[in-house]
Amino acid sequence: MSTLEIIGGIAILIISLITIILCLSQEQKSQDSMTAALTGASADSFYGKNEGRTKEAILAKITRTLSILLFIAVLAVNIVPIFTK
């Protein structure tokens, strides 16, 4: 194993642990869209308009970014040894 593979493995481990923690800290999405349709509830509220600034939205954006970084790190760890031979 080369030094780059070890560093990449550690980076993958750290990114995956942080992603798991962030996923577990997010709230579940409710499945009450049918209830809203039957009762005539409106999604146009203050919370709906400022949805991108809430804690849940920020956690979702960070989780998405970390997932992309994890994907790139896994590809890099598997591709780099091919070119270093």
Which pLDDT score is estimated for 3?
A: 85
Q: Where are the domains of the chain?
A: 1-19+52-84
Q: What is the pTM of this model?
A: 0.68
SS3 track for the chain? CCHHHHHHHHHHHHHHHHHHHHHHHCCCCCCCHHHHHHHCCCCCCHHHHCHHHCHHHHHHHHHHHHHHHHHHHHHHHHHHHHHCC
Q: Is the pLDDT at 13 greater than 90, yes or no? A: yes
pLDDT of residue 21: 93
Better-scored residue on pLDDT, 14 or 42: 14
Are 84 and 19 in contact by the 8 Å Cβ rule? The answer is: no
Structure confidence by residue, pLDDT tens digits, 22-80: 999 887 766 555 665 566 555 555 555 566 678 888 888 999 999 999 999 999 888 88
